[in-house]
């Protein structure tokens, strides 16, 4: 990871930004292997899975035995105490959905959509020069290099280490950093970013996490910062039949969620986090995000709800 990224981080367990870094292996501007610890007992590893990639996942996405061996191999002997987080039935079901959904991303696959092509220049026009951009759920970094036309640093954050590995192989020599993260537990301080790009990923936001998610996006964005997002809509009948099917199986599903089977048999999770556009726009407004541009690309076969938002 790049040393300049350290200033953006906070602990996802207690929210503190007073983190301590122990470097095991580094070069001039970056850390290849290391550990970042917080007073509360939480820690992040660097280079445990892939050299130079920071991992900031919550405990339920982590392999603690593998982390222990990594630390032993690095000669790190301080005692650590990573507590398990309490999860209810619904949290456990969602974690299962996300783990399963990630398998589809073991190989890069996404292509540019018409809304991204048209909105990227507008996003760049609004973006402050020399700032920092977060490509959230950015996958293998298909869009990330474009932010460097204006930004000094871009960060790709994604749940999938396989995609981040590809991203790092392709983009390592640019001013881009790579963080394995869960977008519902962002490891960033308030006002860390001047822009957040979230494309082809809104469909992973569960309906009951939407409010909190938008609130967090707004908090990690600077004043005048800009957000791009594109949002899927599904026919009411599809959502209703998913809801009934999974409810009958006893799954703690919420209306709007749509788990389905991909070609090849993989189970995949999609969600229409807000069926009501009015409600969605009220959440934006409540979080100081005003709509600069709103477009419907459904006629072109792309996303029906596309927004550029700007923070007050």
Ligand X SMILES: C[S@@+](CC[C@H](N)C(=O)[O-])C[C@H]1O[C@@H](n2cnc3c(N)ncnc32)[C@H](O)[C@@H]1O
Residues near ligand X, by CB under 6 A: 98, 102, 105, 110, 137-139, 142, 158-160, 163, 181-184, 199-201, 204
> Which residue in the shown chain puts its C-beta closest to ligand X?
139
Quick check: 9 binds Zn ion (CB under 5 A)?
A: no
Q: How far apart are CA 92 and CA 84, in angstroms?
A: 13
With CB under 5 to 8 Å by kind, the binding choice for 195 among ligand X, Zn ion, none is: none
Q: Which residues contact 203 (CB under 8 A, 6 or more apart)?
A: 231, 232, 270, 271, 272
The item of Zn ion, ligand X, none sharing an interface with residue 161, based on CB under 5 to 8 Å by kind, is none
Check if the beta carbon of residue 193 is closer than 8 Å to that of residue 5. no
Are the C-beta atoms of residues 104 and 201 closer than 8 Å to each other?
A: no
Q: Select 60 or 243, whichever has its Cβ closest to ligand X.
A: 60
Q: Taking CB under 5 A as the rule, does residue 1 contact Zn ion?
A: no
Nearer of residues 171 and 179 to Zn ion, judged by Cβ: 179
Q: Which is nearer to ligand X, 71 or 201 (CB)?
A: 201
| From the list ligand X, Zn ion, none, partner contacted by residue 253 (C-beta under 5 to 8 A by kind) | none
Closest CA to 58 of 92, 19, 34: 92
Phi and psi angles of residue 101, each rounded to the nearest 5 degrees, phi first: -65, -30
209, two tokens:
């996490």
Residue ranges in 82-111 that form contacts with Zn ion under rule CB under 5 A:
none
Q: Is 312 exposed, middle or buried (0-12, 13-18, 19+ CB in 10 A)?
A: exposed
Q: Which of residues 17-76 bind Zn ion (CB under 5 A)?
A: 38, 40, 42
Q: How far is the CB of 189 from ligand X (least distance, A)?
A: 18
- Do 129 and 150 touch, CB atoms closer than 8 A? yes
* Torsion (CA) 209, 211, 214, 216 in degrees, nearest 10: -80
Shortest Cβ 18–Zn ion spacing (Å)? 9
Which residue(s) pair with 46 in the sheet?
Answer: 34, 54
Residue 40, binding choice from Zn ion, ligand X, none, Cβ under 5 to 8 Å by partner class: Zn ion
Nearer to ligand X, 24 or 218 (CB): 218
Q: Which is nearer to Zn ion, 13 or 272 (CB)?
A: 13
Residue 297 interaction partner, one of Zn ion, ligand X, none, beta carbon < 5-8 Å per kind: none
d(CA 124, CA 140) in angstroms, rounded, equals: 20
Q: Pick from Zn ion, ligand X, none: which does 42 bind, CB < 5 to 8 A by kind?
A: Zn ion
Residue 277 lies near Zn ion (rule: CB under 5 A)? no
Site of interaction with Zn ion (CB under 5 A)? 11, 13-14, 16, 38, 40, 42
């Amino acid at each position: 990871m790049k040393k300049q990224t350290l200033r953006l981080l906070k602990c996802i367990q207690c929210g503190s930004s007073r983190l301590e870094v122990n470097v095991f292996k580094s070069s001039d501007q970056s850390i290849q292997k290391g550990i970042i610890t917080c007073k509360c007992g939480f820690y992040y590893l660097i280079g445990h899975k892939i050299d130079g990639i920071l991992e900031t996942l919550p405990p339920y996405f982590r392999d603690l035995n593998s982390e222990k061996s990594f630390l032993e191999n690095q000669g790190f002997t301080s005692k650590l105490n990573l507590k398990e987080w309490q999860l209810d039935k619904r949290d456990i079901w969602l974690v299962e959905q996300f783990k399963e959904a990630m398998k589809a991303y073991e190989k890069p696959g996404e292509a540019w959509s018409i809304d991204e092509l048209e909105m990227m220049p507008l996003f760049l026009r609004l973006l402050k020069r020399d700032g920092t951009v977060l490509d959230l759920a950015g996958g293998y970094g298909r869009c990330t290099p474009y932010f460097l036309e204006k930004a000094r640093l871009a960060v790709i954050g994604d749940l999938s280490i396989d995609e981040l590995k590809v991203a790092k192989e392709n983009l390592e020599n640019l001013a881009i950093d790579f963080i394995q993260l869960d977008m519902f537990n962002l490891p960033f301080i308030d006002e860390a970013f001047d822009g957040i790009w979230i494309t082809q990923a809104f469909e992973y936001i569960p309906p009951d996490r939407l409010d909190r998610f938008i609130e967090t996006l707004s908090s990690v964005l600077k004043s005048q910062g800009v957000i791009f997002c594109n949002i899927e809509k599904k026919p009411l009948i599809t959502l209703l039949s998913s809801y009934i099917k999974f409810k009958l199986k006893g799954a703690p599903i919420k209306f709007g969620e749509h788990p389905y089977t991909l070609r090849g048999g993989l189970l995949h999770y999609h969600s229409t986090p807000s069926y009501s556009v009015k409600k969605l726009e009220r959440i934006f407004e409540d979080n100081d995000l005003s709509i600069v541009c709103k477009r419907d690309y459904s006629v072109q076969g792309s996303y029906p709800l596309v927004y550029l938002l700007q923070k007050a």
